[in-house]
């Protein structure tokens, strides 16, 4: 901690000295001025002045309003992309010579200058965190401004290298962890909302586990965290697992680990797959800590199901093929108030699964901060169960259904991502 603070102050000192040398002004936040700063940063000045420029770029960006930031991204898309003429010339040279030198030249020509710009911006103190926040804002613009997708692709490409598994540190979070970290768990859990400090304390009790991935560039921010309940027998309801008054089970009496909540915390890292890595690592660590565990399973909400079932095209789809009458009867039952208080019908509900998973347009949606792998993590689905948490899900406008998925340590979870639809 002391070393990190010293290093941050040292880098800030370098930036201050470089800034005095360059006599840069902080009150000019116009896009043309910021573009000039970016070109100066790419020109390859000394380390001190480069650090100062990178921080000045970030400061100028931070002082812009929403329109200015959009214009900045548009400038990056238009002015800091690859040169088509240079790519054409490098391609022709490579086709003629077909050697390492021309291949290297072609690779350099294809890479957009903005990728190197982002690398140099990263030299600023806390530059990585600033770039992650910058991409979070960029993602919000893509739907209305498709040309900006090229900028996003470059940022995602770089983040894929900067946040690869080799840089991630797995850490267990318990009741004795720093208070500010515990507060972040409460703030970031969007799958199974933590409603109080007592609720959090119960989730971190002896028969519970919470693990998170951290990165050196964001040392105080969990990138993603996973909550686990150690239970005896496979649970098909999440409500008892979230009861803060439930008795604590002795860990040695547990035979099953239920993954009940997984949450990404950084919208700017959306699209990077931390969930599969975290689940596999946690499963292996739990197996080492508790060799008597026999089962690992997930119990996760099915967000968007109610909306999908209400579509006219969905009803048309369910009315086709064998067992159509049974599926429509099931749909009618689900649409009745209080349906979830009746007898379980997991086997019947599974009839909807192939239609839901094969639906075009990826119908199920989820808050951006919730890791998509919470829906796709298991190597196989065990059941779809209902009535699991009526109060929470009905308030959110969803059907109180959960997807129960069995999984095992060291299984190729990537296969599940290919088999099941992604959640936006």
Same domain for 29 and 131: yes
pLDDT in tens, 130-155: 999 999 999 999 999 999 999 999 99
Same domain for 132 and 251: no
How far is Cα 101 from Cα 109, in angstroms, rounded to an integer? 12
Residue 256 reports pLDDT greater than 70: yes
Same domain for 251 and 133: no
Q: Among residues 140, 162, 184, which one ends one of the domains?
A: 162
How far is Cα 14 from Cα 6, in angstroms, rounded to an integer? 12
Same domain for 229 and 135: no
Number of independent structural domains in the chain: 2
- % of the chain at pLDDT higher than 70: 70
What would the mean pLDDT of 29-50 be, rounded to a whole number? 81
Q: Among residues 118, 136, 162, which one ends one of the domains?
A: 162
pLDDT in tens, 317-352: 878 878 788 778 877 777 776 655 555 555 555 555
pLDDT in tens, 295-308: 998 876 666 666 77
Kindly state the tokens that stand for 344.
Answer: 């379980």
Q: The domain that contains 319 carries what CATH number?
A: 3.40.630.150
Residue 417 reports pLDDT greater than 80: no
Of 355, 149, 377, nearest to 258 (Cα)?
377
Same domain for 138 and 18: yes
Domain residue limits at 143:
2-162
Top pLDDT among 328 and 358 is at: 328
What would the mean pLDDT of 25-54 be, rounded to a whole number? 77
At residue 238, the pLDDT reads: 85
Strands (E), 327-423: 380-386, 401-407
Q: Among residues 162, 180, 197, which one ends one of the domains?
A: 162
The contacts of residue 416 (CB under 8 Å, 6+ apart) are 376, 377, 378, 379, 380
Most confidently modeled of 47-56, 64-73, 343-352, 379-388? 64-73
Same domain for 193 and 51: no
Same domain for 61 and 44: yes
Same domain for 393 and 370: yes
Same domain for 179 and 272: yes
Written as one string, the DSSP assignment of 110-130 is HS-HHHHHHHHHTTSTTHHHH
Q: The domain that contains 18 carries what CATH number?
A: 1.20.140.90
Of 60, 51, 59, nearest to 31 (Cα)?
60
Of 161, 240, 153, nearest to 203 (Cα)?
240
> Three-class SS of residue 398?
coil
Same domain for 186 and 140: no
Written as one string, the DSSP assignment of 62-120 is HT--HHHHHHHHHHHHHHSS--HHHHHHHHHHHHHH-SHHHHHHHHHHHS-HHHHHHHH
Residue 56 reports pLDDT greater than 60: yes
Burial of 143 per CB tally in 10 Å (0-12, 13-18, 19+): exposed
Predicted model pTM: 0.73
At residue 350, the pLDDT reads: 53
What would the mean pLDDT of 185-192 be, rounded to a whole number? 92
Same domain for 179 and 118: no
250 DSSP 8-state letter: P
pLDDT in tens, 206-246: 999 999 999 999 999 999 999 999 999 988 788 899 999 99
pLDDT in tens, 260-279: 999 999 999 999 989 989 99
């Amino acid at each position: 901690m002391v070393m990190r603070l010293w290093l941050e102050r040292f880098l800030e000192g370098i930036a201050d000295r470089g800034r005095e040398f360059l006599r840069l002004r902080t009150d000019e936040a116009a896009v043309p001025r910021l573009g000039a700063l970016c070109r100066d940063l790419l020109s390859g000045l000394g380390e001190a002045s480069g650090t100062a420029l990178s921080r000045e770029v970030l400061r100028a960006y931070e002082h812009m309003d929403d329109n200015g930031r959009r214009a900045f991204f548009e400038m990056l898309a238009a002015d800091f992309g690859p040169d088509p003429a240079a790519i054409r010339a490098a391609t022709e040279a490579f086709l003629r010579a077909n050697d390492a030198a021309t291949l290297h030249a072609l690779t350099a020509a294809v890479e957009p200058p903005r990728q190197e710009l982002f690398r140099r911006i990263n030299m600023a103190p806390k530059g990585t965190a600033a770039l992650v926040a910058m991409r979070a804002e960029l993602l919000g613009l893509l739907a209305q401004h498709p040309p900006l997708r090229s900028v996003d692709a470059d940022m995602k490409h770089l983040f894929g290298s900067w946040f690869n598994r080799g840089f991630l540190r797995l850490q267990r979070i318990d009741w004795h962890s720093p208070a500010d970290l515990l507060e972040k768990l409460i703030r970031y859990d969007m799958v199974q909302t933590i409603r109080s400090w007592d609720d959090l304390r119960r989730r971190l009790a002896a028969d519970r586990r919470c693990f998170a991935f951290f990165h050196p560039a964001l040392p105080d921010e969990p990138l993603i965290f996973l909550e686990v309940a150690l239970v005896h027998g496979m649970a098909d309801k999440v409500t008892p697992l979230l009861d803060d008054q439930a008795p604590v089970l002795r860990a040695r009496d547990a035979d099953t680990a239920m993954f009940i909540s997984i949450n990404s915390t950084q919208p700017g890292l959306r699209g990077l797959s931390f969930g599969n890595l975290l689940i596999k690592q946690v499963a292996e660590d739990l197996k080492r800590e508790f060799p008597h565990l026999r089962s690992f399973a997930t119990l996760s909400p099915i967000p968007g199901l109610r909306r999908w079932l209400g579509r006219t095209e969905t009803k048309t789809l369910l009315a086709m093929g064998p067992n159509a009458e049974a599926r429509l009867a099931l749909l009618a039952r689900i649409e009745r108030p209080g349906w979830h208080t009746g007898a379980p019908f997991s086997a019947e509900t599974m009839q909807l699964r192939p239609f839901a998973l094969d639906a075009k347009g990826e119908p199920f949606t989820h808050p951006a901060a919730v890791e998509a792998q919470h829906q796709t993590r298991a190597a196989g689905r065990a059941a779809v169960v209902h009535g699991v948490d009526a109060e929470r899900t009905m308030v959110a406008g969803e059907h109180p259904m959960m997807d129960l998925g069995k999984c095992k340590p060291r299984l190729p979870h990537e296969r599940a991502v290919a088999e099941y639809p992604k959640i936006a």
